[in-house]
């Protein structure tokens, strides 16, 4: 029986037995047929069609997620001014470090669910989901208390300019208070996607996006809440998305109706979940350590530089949504096919997705080269020419390296879906090292231009590790399954 992952962590025999061998369903094939209408089996059929069909709803979801993030920034910049915009932007790296950990953990929790679903072990899947809930409650409470207490000290350590530090603190402390809402939405949407349903989370996200816009305008313009209004709108919108996901799951999926005995804490399941979730969470956080160091260097350049990076970064994130969708798709695709023991489909799906990433990289570069400055101008009223020039330069340099970013997302999430989440940490270390180098050497010597090259350098460093890592884990997984057979 298999007992170790390629990264060396011990995993229970029961995990592999359940992940690789189909098991019975509590209510038989009736439930499976009911669930099949809303889920998608990615273990059969054309990989390209499956990837496109699954990733398009995800893409719209990420676009809407960025949409209401961008709306926050636009409204703040247009109605509260450049200092408020810079204050919100100065929290980007610490926000990414903490909230990104939440997202990574929830994505990791969804991988064993995908394995169970692919193996048709529905009782085991419900037990895994129940333990996801217990762990998410624990993580969200502990994280909220710690980061709310420490966030002002972190902003001071990051040398946040005095003219924006209060706005930065007010905004980020409210976002951190909403960490439980982030866990709720990301855990539930991850579970739904792990069963092949990428459309439902999109619908809830679209609804909450429009609600977020209304709350932004209400809190900032009517209630005069300042940057606090933008943060409140974001947290409330995400909370509503999570609650809607919960109601939908209870109503729609009989296969997910957890019985009393399945709610029992199972330390074997928790060990597997933590072995998947924590590395993926740390991937974001370790990467973000480099971003924090980089942000500290950018802060030293002044409020104008911070606002320029904020505006350029918001536009760039919008154009990076397809890469995020491709990555999440490959995590589910890889997880289900490993659960079904169809390893031959992994390479085909990976190549198809990389082709899609290459095509979008070219399109995005052309658009941002010609229109990047105009798009950045959406974020400020009476925009300063220097800020627009800086933002356009930031976008041109970053978009020229979008293909390495596509590889980072596609290959890393495929590896995670295959069950080797520890590699996410190592890839994050490479990104952290690159951004740290940029923060300590490029920015002090080359100023704003050095900041523009930080992310491209991080993507290249990560690819240098991830490409041979995929080849290694694919071979290792094949050997492990050969032993199992």
pLDDT tens digits, residue range 87-96? 887 887 888 8
Q: Higher-confidence residue: 175 or 31?
A: 175
Among 22-36, 248-262, 295-309, 338-352, which is the least confidently predicted range? 22-36
Tokens standing for 84?
């408020």
Label residue 75 by pLDDT band (50, 70, 90): confident
Is the pLDDT assigned to residue 379 strictly greater than 80?
no
Label residue 309 by pLDDT band (50, 70, 90): confident
Residues 326 and 378 sit within 8 Å (Cβ to Cβ): no
Write down the domain spans for the chain: 13-484
Q: Which range scores top for mean pLDDT: 122-126, 176-180, 183-187, 303-307? A: 176-180
Q: Looking at beta carbons, which pairs linking 134-142 to residues 24 or more positions away fall under 8 Å?
A: 134/265, 134/270, 135/109, 135/270, 135/273, 135/274, 135/277, 136/105, 136/106, 136/109, 136/183, 136/184, 136/187, 137/183, 139/102, 139/105, 139/183, 140/102, 140/179, 140/180, 140/182, 140/183, 141/180
Nearest to 288 by CA among 390, 394, 154: 154
Label residue 32 by pLDDT band (50, 70, 90): very low
What gap in Å lies between CA 184 and CA 393, rounded to an integer? 38
Is the pLDDT assigned to residue 386 strictly greater than 90?
no
- pLDDT tens string 154-169: 899 888 888 889 999 9
CA geometry: angle at 249 spanning 67 and 283, to 5°? 55
Tokens standing for 241?
């998305």
Nearest to 192 by CA among 327, 56, 38, 84: 38
Residues 291 and 97 sit within 8 Å (Cβ to Cβ): yes
Mean pLDDT of 127-135: 93
Close Cβ partners of 444 (under 8 Å, ≥ 6 residues apart): 297, 450
Residues 42 and 114 sit within 8 Å (Cβ to Cβ): no
CA geometry: angle at 450 spanning 446 and 451, to 5°? 135
Nearest to 185 by CA among 249, 118, 251, 228: 249
CA geometry: angle at 463 spanning 446 and 422, to 5°? 115
Mean pLDDT of 418-437: 84
Nearest to 298 by CA among 287, 310, 285: 310
Mean pLDDT of the chain: 83
Residues 376 and 315 sit within 8 Å (Cβ to Cβ): yes
What gap in Å lies between CA 5 and CA 193, rounded to an integer? 24
Label residue 28 by pLDDT band (50, 70, 90): very low
Q: How far is the first Cα of the chain from the last one, in angstroms, to the nearest whole number?
A: 10
Label residue 485 by pLDDT band (50, 70, 90): low
Report the number of secondary-structure helices (H) and strands (E) in the chain: 20, 0
Question: Which pLDDT score, from 0 to 100, does residue 68 have?
Answer: 65
Is the pLDDT assigned to residue 475 strictly greater than 70?
yes
Is the pLDDT assigned to residue 36 strictly greater than 50?
no
* Neighbouring C-beta atoms of residue 341, cutoff 10 Å: 18
Question: Which pLDDT score, from 0 to 100, does residue 39 have?
Answer: 61
């Amino acid at each position: 029986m298999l007992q170790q992952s390629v990264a060396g962590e011990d995993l229970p025999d029961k995990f592999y037995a359940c992940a690789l061998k189909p098991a019975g369903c509590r209510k038989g094939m009736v439930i499976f047929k009911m669930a099949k209408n809303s889920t998608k089996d990615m273990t059969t059929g054309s990989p390209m069609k499956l990837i496109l069909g699954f990733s398009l709803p995800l893409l719209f979801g990420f676009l809407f997620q960025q949409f209401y993030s961008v709306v926050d920034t636009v409204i703040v910049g247009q109605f509260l001014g450049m200092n408020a915009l810079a204050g919100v932007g100065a929290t980007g790296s610490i926000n990414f470090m903490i909230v990104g950990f939440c997202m990574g953990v929830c994505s990791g929790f969804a991988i064993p669910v995908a394995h169970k679903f692919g193996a048709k072990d529905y009782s085991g899947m419900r037990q895994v989901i129940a333990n996801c809930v217990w762990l998410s409650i624990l993580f969200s409470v502990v994280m909220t208390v710690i980061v709310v207490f420490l966030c002002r000290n972190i902003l001071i350590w990051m040398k946040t300019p005095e003219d924006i530090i209060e706005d930065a603190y007010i905004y980020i402390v409210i976002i951190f208070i909403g960490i439980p809402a982030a866990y709720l939405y990301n855990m539930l949407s991850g579970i739904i996607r792990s069963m092949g349903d990428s459309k439902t989370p999109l619908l809830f996200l679209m609804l909450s996006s429009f609600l977020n816009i209304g709350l932004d305008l209400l809190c900032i313009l009517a209630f005069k809440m300042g940057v606090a209004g933008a943060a409140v709108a974001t947290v409330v919108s995400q909370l509503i998305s999570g609650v809607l996901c919960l109601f939908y799951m209870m109503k729609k999926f009989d296969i997910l109706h957890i019985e009393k005995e399945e709610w029992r804490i199972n330390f074997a399941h928790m060990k597997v979940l933590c072995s998947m979730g924590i590395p993926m969470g740390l991937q974001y956080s370790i990467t973000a350590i480099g971003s924090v160091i980089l942000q500290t260097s950018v802060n030293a350049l002044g409020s104008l530089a911070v606002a320029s990076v904020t505006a350029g970064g918001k536009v760039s994130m919008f154009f990076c949504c397809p890469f995020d969708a491709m990555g999440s798709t490959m995590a589910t695709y890889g997880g289900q096919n490993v659960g079904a023991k169809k390893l031959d489909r992994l390479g085909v799906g990976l190549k198809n997705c990389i082709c899609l990433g290459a095509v979008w990289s070219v399109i995005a570069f052309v658009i941002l080269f010609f229109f990047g400055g105009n798009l950045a101008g959406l974020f400020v009223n009476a925009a300063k020419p220097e800020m627009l020039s800086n933002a356009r330069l930031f976008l041109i340099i970053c978009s020229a390296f979008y293909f390495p970013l596509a590889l980072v997302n596609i290959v890393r999430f495929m590896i995670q879906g295959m069950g080797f989440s520890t590699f996410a940490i190592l890839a994050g270390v490479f990104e952290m090292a690159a951004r740290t180098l940029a923060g300590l050497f490029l920015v002090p010597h080359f100023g704003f231009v050095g900041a523009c090259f930080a992310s491209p350098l991080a993507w290249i460093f990560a690819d240098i590790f991830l490409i041979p890592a995929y080849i290694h884990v694919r071979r290792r997984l094949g050997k492990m399954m050969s032993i199992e057979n």
